[in-house]
Amino acid sequence: MKQNKIYSLLGLAMRGRNLVSGEFQTEDAVKKGSAMLVIVAEDASANTKKLFHDKCSYYEVPVYEYGTKEELGWAIGRDLRSSVGVCDAGLADALIKQLEANLPG
């Protein structure tokens, strides 16, 4: 697995209990307004991607596609995870900067 700043920050968020993972918990956090950022795995199903893009656009939560389900799970010390939600504003801002820097183009 490649070690990088994004996965490190996700691990930090998990250890600080500022992260939810899995479809149901992430969707619930978006609806409740506690999620400041959602990351969906690039190899998640089309339905999962659409669900989070639609929900996040409605609730005005930034959403990014990054990594694989295996890498997201590995970063937070769990099994495969298709989505994670960051519930801390500072960590979300730091992650968004890193995600923007990693965008192709």
> How confident is the model over 16-66, as pLDDT tens digits?
999 999 999 999 999 999 999 999 999 999 999 999 999 999 999 999 999
Global confidence as pTM: 0.94
Dihedral pair phi/psi, residue 20, rounded to 5°: -115, 150
Asked if 30 contacts 56 with a C-beta cutoff of 8 angstroms, the reply is yes
H or E stretch at 12:
helix 5-15
Who contacts 102 (Cβ-Cβ below 8 Å, separation ≥6)? 6, 66
